[in-house]
A and B are shown apart, each in its own frame.
Chain A
Amino acid sequence: MKRVVIDMQQQRDEGRLGTGVPGLDAILHGGLIPGSVFIVQGAPGAGKTILANQICFHHARTGNKALYVTLLAESHDRLLSHLGRLAFFDPRQVPESIYFISSFDTLARDGLKGVLQLLRSESRERQASLIVLDGLFALEETAQSAKEFRKFINDLTTLAGLIGCTMLLLTNTGRCCTESVEYTMVDGWIELELRQLAQRAERSVRVLKYRGSGFLEGRHTLCIDGGGMHVYPRLEALAEDRLQLPLSGSRLGTGIAGLDRALEGGLPSATATLLVGPTGIGKTIMGLHFMAGSSADEPGLIFNCYETAEQIRAKGVALGLAELIDAGHVQVERVAPTEQRLDVLAHRLLEQVRARGVRRLLVDGIDGFSQAAADAERLPQFLAALSAALCKEGVTTLYTLEHPVLAQAGGSVAGTLASAVQNIVVMRYVEMDSELRRAVAVLKVRDSSFDRRIRELDITPQGVRIGEALPPGTFSWDVPAMHKT
């Protein structure tokens, strides 16, 4: 017993207990406070058992011991068989470091008091510093009264504090946690949710209470795959500093001389630019010009929703992009927005940006993000947070957006994006001399002067060419009020 207490004290001094669930510790501001009691609530299938076991196996990997106690749950062999398919499962940890027992018989025979005694003796015997009690609802059903159940929870929290043992109490959902008798007694409350959205299901995790600690509020995307559980903190919640960073003053060439002239030297570095226009007008090829400026010192990433790496490569041959891709200076990442979650896309993008030190980024088809959004209302805040995070990483980003009628942009994705970017370049078809031609104009550049005049744009086999400003009166162009100047 003494040895356990010493170990726990050491663990407290060292700080929090990591969960081993990617992303979850960020939500919990570093992990679980040792000696705390958490309720993990969720409907069957929400992922409670996987979450608890992933934490147990991480705990074991870091040299600690865990006790997993089931009440009315699936049998241990079935449980271990299911877990065996997940990457975090390590059979060598069972039973030496993770010990599975059932307390069903104890509960039936000796009631809540017996279960408490069992936890006390087994945690000591196994030197466990983490206990999972799977099936709290069975204890509540067995309790003779709400008072007895409250006392059990109280005894449990006392025991946890006394021996420095962290406890996870798993229970089914179905009631408001704040109205539960145990809400005020436990240290933390984590809720897992499984929502059905049209044809797809979306999992999320929410921390409702964490005594003695801050946490990232609200729902965060949760995914379960062969690697186990992953949490993707809501990007807006993560954005520590939404203030716009001061511009460095340096510029990145777009690779198109005419556009660089209009921008008075190129795109301000570490800013986000929206390139908006109708289908087929040349947004992607404009973006590829920008990416052709990538190098070993300025690595590039093309994050796109609609074209394969081969298609991108073929389009960029004349620009020298194929060589840059082959040399690894430009990476092409294709994502299928309909099968992705908004935060999964963002975290994946940011991971790659950080891993490769990306400086030039083309997000070709930003509307893919809106397709991935289960909740369209959060899109403005999400895109603003994404842009802020990319700027903070020193990335100069070019988003392309297909949008036919600029004048109606106010309430659309374009309007949403306009407030999330520093610079806007618009493209459209214009009628001149009885034919449709392409035109481009810079609409906004943050904290900088620029040439507002409209220029003709031509797409040639060698790429995009932008001419001199068109003479006044060539055609009329109603510029939309989609940005704040």
Chain B
Amino acid sequence: MRDQKADGVGRILVVEDESSILTALTLLLEMEGYQVAEATNGRQGLELLAGFVPDLIVTDYMMPYMNGLEMVRHLRQDPVYADVPVILVSAAPPAGEEGAELVDVCLPKPVAIDKLLAAIERLLAAR
């Protein structure tokens, strides 16, 4: 098992429509040594995958054009991304929503940084 973070190859896609949160998450993850790509909605997140294959995805739930769960449903249908771990962060937990079971970890907003980083490390280590 490789240590992706130590290797500097931990690639994370962050999908979030609120710019202040998107900026904060990106800064945080880059400071932790990850390579980060940003998208502001699910549709844009899927489009980014053409040029950026992530090791993990951190996504918001409620977003315009395509929400986080819809994006994950699309991802899981593609064998390339079927196993990419997904962390969903949301002010409104999607309990019982279709697709919620496709998410590896669900964290409430405001995001507790230590919990987010711990979840990322755990999911990447398990790959």
By a beta-carbon cutoff of 8 Å, the part of chain A in contact with chain B is 70, 75-81, 91, 94-95, 99-106, 108, 118, 121-122, 125
Contact = CB atoms under 8 A, between A and B. Distances in A.
Contacts of B17: 101-105
A104 B23 CA distance: 13
A75 B62 contact: no
Contact of B18 (A80, A94, A102, A125): A102
B125 interface: no
B64 A78 contact: no
A100 B110 contact: no
B contacts with A: majority SS: loop
A95 B18 contact: no
Nearest to A125: B65
Contact of B20 (A75, A94, A101): A75
Contacts of B92: 80, 91, 94-95, 100
A102 to B, nearest CB: 4
B38 to A, nearest CB: 10
A106 B91 contact: no
Contact of B64 (A81, A95, A106, A108): A106
A contacts with B: majority SS: helix
Given A77-B91, A91-B92, A121 B19 contact: no
Interface of B: 17-22, 40, 61-65, 67, 91-92, 94, 108-110
A104 B19 CA distance: 7
A77 B63 contact: no
A77 B62 contact: no
Contact of B62 (A95, A105, A106, A121): A95
B13 to A, nearest CB: 16
Contacts of B63: 101-102
B93 to A, nearest CB: 8
Contacts of A91: 92
A105 B65 contact: no
A384 B22 CA distance: 58
A105 B19 contact: yes
Contacts of A100: 62, 91-92
A282 B19 CA distance: 68
Nearest to A67: B64
Nearest to A73: B18
27 contacts: A70-B18, A75-B18, A76-B109, A77-B109, A77-B110, A78-B110, A79-B91, A80-B91, A80-B92, A81-B91, A94-B62, A94-B92, A95-B67, A95-B92, A95-B94, A99-B62, A100-B62, A100-B92, A101-B62, A101-B63, A101-B64, A102-B63, A103-B17, A105-B19, A118-B65, A121-B65, A125-B65
A475 to B, nearest CB: 76
B112 to A, nearest CB: 12
B113 to A, nearest CB: 14
Nearest to A84: B91
A125 B67 CA distance: 11
B60 to A, nearest CB: 9
A76 B18 contact: yes
Most chain A C-beta atoms within 10 Å of own C-beta, residue among B63, B65, B67, B92? B92
B58 to A, nearest CB: 14
The 4 residue pairs across chains A and B that have the minimum distance between CB atoms: A77-B109, A77-B91, A105-B40, A94-B92
A99 B18 CA distance: 14
Contacts of A125: 65
Nearest to A100: B62
A121 B66 CA distance: 11
Nearest to B18: A102
A101 B21 CA distance: 13
